[in-house]
Structure 1
Amino acid sequence: MKYVILYKSRSVVKLPISETYDVTTHSSKPHTVVFVTLKGEFEAATSLRQIEGESAGKLKRCHRQYLVNESKISGFDYATRIIKFTDSRISYICCSRRHFPKLIAEWKKA
């Protein structure tokens, strides 16, 4: 899957996966995920597991609530397990203890 069809208000957008920084679950809507990009936040009615499977390895699980685009990561904070992105306008996200070592190893290889 190179593109994903997303919704924002009353508009429909075809967004390349490569422009996505992270994907998270919606805080108040069940079965809804939010794609975070520089263009804004877009919603889709699906699950993180389905997005992770269809992204062909481009989006990696870092927490049970987050998927992250490995190519958009600029660094990690080992003490707090925070993932920092290449663009400072995108807020950092936390990584779980379980996924942290694996994500760092894969990021170093790329």
Structure 2
Amino acid sequence: VSSRSDLEGKSKLNESARLVDELLRVSSQWFLKYLEGSLKKGSFLVKKEEANGKDSLLVHLKAVNRWLDDLILSRTETRERVEDVRKKLQQFLLEHIESAMGETQ
């Protein structure tokens, strides 16, 4: 009986791990599509409080860049698609960061 319970427990753990992986994959795909769509529409808002201090745009950009790198490393998305999003995001920031920084001064 004990070995049967152990097998059932391992099976449930394996299923849970599989579901976690699937959730991460699907949520990553959703967020990447969101980024692509927002960049295409140019619909990001740059808030004054995000242009300086601890929650700066550069901190967010660094986090997004790490996330994009992880997508490539985990082979969740193609390098080409990720690099295209990265390039568009950097272009957007270059176009908008100067005006956001100017508003805070």
- TM > 0.5 between the two? no
Q: Which has the higher strand share?
A: 1
TM-score, normalised to structure 2, is 0.27
Q: Which has the higher helix share?
A: 2
TM-score, normalised to structure 1, is 0.26
User: For the pair shown, which has the larger CA radius of gyration, 1 or 2?
Assistant: 2
